[in-house]
Structure 1
Amino acid sequence: MNIIVTGASSGVGFEAVIELCLSGQHNIIALARSQDKLGRLLEIAKGINPDCTLYALAFDLVNDDYNDLQQFIANNFDNRVDILINNAGMLVNKPFMELQELDFIEMLQSNYIGHVRIIQSLVTLMPPGAHILNIGSMGGFQGSVKFPGLAAYSASKAALHTLTECLAFELAEQQVKVNCLALGSAQTEMLEKAFPGYESPVLAFEMGKYIADFALTGHKFFNGKILPVAVTTP
């Protein structure tokens, strides 16, 4: 499988890449903005499995030139992408009345527009049976408990959830499946920013493994679904 993972420099994206590298059966491109953190990812992955095929590329989904990424895929991935995991994102934690318009713009760019751009750029390279997996949030899941300070973040994730449903219909003729995992808490830097001092019962590597497994097999059972991945209700 040729797999691309965005937001791969930390948290569950980092762990998902590590999990995908274990078998040595996949070709993986890990994308993130931090080259230093990507270097650490590459070092750890090669330490665990020296034979894994992993390319760690510094790339900004919102601002960088997708022609460069497309050329890299043509040269190293035989111009084919089987799985795209859209995990990149940011979080701002501010009371609603303190949020500036730029905060909402930043959340939408990082958590929604960036994913739109990469999907538009790569979907023509995806064969029948390919899978686009968007990583959403329980914060944007309809009917879930919402928390103060996360209005801009949660709204941007809700947009990603709806995009998932729309694309599943639009790409049906191409036979590309599109799903979204609305993640609850996992012990990551982003969780600490959202809920300082809170300890999640789910570790980052556990959630990363779940994401990797679902990316490989979930589209056999689901399409156009926003699936809550949380140990609490609602």
Structure 2
Amino acid sequence: MSARSWRGPITGRAITASRSGWISSLRRSSQTLEATSRLDGRLAIVTGAASGIGRCIAGHMALAGARLLLVDRDGAGLADAQREMPAAAVLALDISDWAIDDPLAAALRDERPAILINAAGLFPSRPILDLDEPHWDAVIDVNLKGTVRIAQLVARMMRDAGRGGAIVNIGSVQSLRPGPGKAAYAASKAGLAAATQVMAREFAPFGIRVNAVAPGPVLTEATRGAIEAAGGKPGVAPPGVAQPDEIARVVHFLASDAASFVNGAFWTVDGGATLLR
């Protein structure tokens, strides 16, 4: 079989493919998948790390060898998380405040992050007829404004360091199939999905990949009561509920070199529930 050549869409370098070339490439990939999932020595910032999905993601990052900066406005929760991950640094920070650049820079101490996981979020429910400005602003300020702001700051650091990086934003299937009472939450996550795609395009020239993970219901301490009341159970059969670990594994993949050619993607992790609504 003759070889084919073409130009890569981003680098412009010549790429040659042949049957033997593909086989060799597959062999190398299978041999290095575990290695490319490692995050040894990389500095990862995880927001929303005091509890729930964010804390579970931070644990996965630590097990993969990353150095951690855990960010949350819940100082007590951060202290508890640090007892589980004693090597991690912590920063009590409310990302809804636009002026987070100085405390973030002080916490980093001139180090440059390689990974940002945006897991901070609020998910209250309120019917539109009962919405008020404080409720709307609180949700939008954390889930959209704050998430975009910290991504902006970290992307600047990644760009200036010249080593690329990976950003993973935690969205929600509510941005695709919003439920009653979720106007502010669904709007914030739909906005984040759009912002993720814009970031992916704008940051790509600097070697920074940006993707989003959109979970369905996830069983955490904060959601347990509502999920159990609704009859949700672990598993993919509706009304299936994910464990935090099932979300964290996808985030870990997207943050690692195993996903080196994944950029601007929106990964639904909901057991297929959106297909049935």
The amino acid of 1:68's aligned partner reads P
The amino acid of 1:60's aligned partner reads D
Structure (1 or 2) with the larger CA radius of gyration? 2
How many Å separate the matches in 1 of 2:67 and 2:136?
35
- 1:44-123, aligned counterparts within 5 Å? 44-46=84-86, 53-63=87-97, 65-73=100-108, 75=109, 78-123=110-155
Moved more, 210-219 or 115-124: 210-219
Render the CA deviation track for 1:41-100: whole Å, top value 9, x for unaligned.
111223xxxxxx311211111225321211221x2xx53111100110001211121111
Contact 1:179 1:223 in 2 (8 A): yes
Larger RCO (CA under 8 A, 6+ residues apart): 1
Counterpart secondary structure, 1:131? strand
- Aligned twin of 2:179: 147
Moved more, 122-131 or 223-232: 122-131
Contact 2:253 2:259 in 1 (8 A): no
How many Å separate the matches in 2 of 1:31 and 1:185?
23
- Aligned twin of 2:74: 34
How many Å separate the matches in 2 of 1:173 and 1:22?
30
Contact 2:219 2:227 in 1 (8 A): no
How many Å separate the matches in 2 of 1:181 and 1:109?
20
- Aligned twin of 2:269: 229
Contact 1:181 1:228 in 2 (8 A): yes
The amino acid of 2:43's aligned partner reads N
> Unpaired segments of 5 or more residues in structure 2?
1-41, 235-241
Q: CA deviation at 1:104?
A: 1.7
Contact 2:254 2:262 in 1 (8 A): no
- Aligned twin of 1:49: none
How many Å separate the matches in 2 of 1:109 and 1:195?
25
Counterpart secondary structure, 1:233? helix
Matched residues, percent identical?
31
Structure 1's 193 and 117: CA in aligned 2 closer, same or farther, altered over 3 A?
farther
Give the total of aligned pairs: 221
- Aligned twin of 1:11: 52
Q: CA deviation at 1:218?
A: 5.8
How many Å separate the matches in 1 of 2:264 and 2:100?
29
Render the CA deviation track for 1:141-189: whole Å, top value 9, x for unaligned.
3xxx331111110110000000001111111221211111111121024
Counterpart secondary structure, 1:171? helix
TM-score by length of 2: 0.74
The amino acid of 1:7's aligned partner reads G
How many Å separate the matches in 1 of 2:199 and 2:249?
25
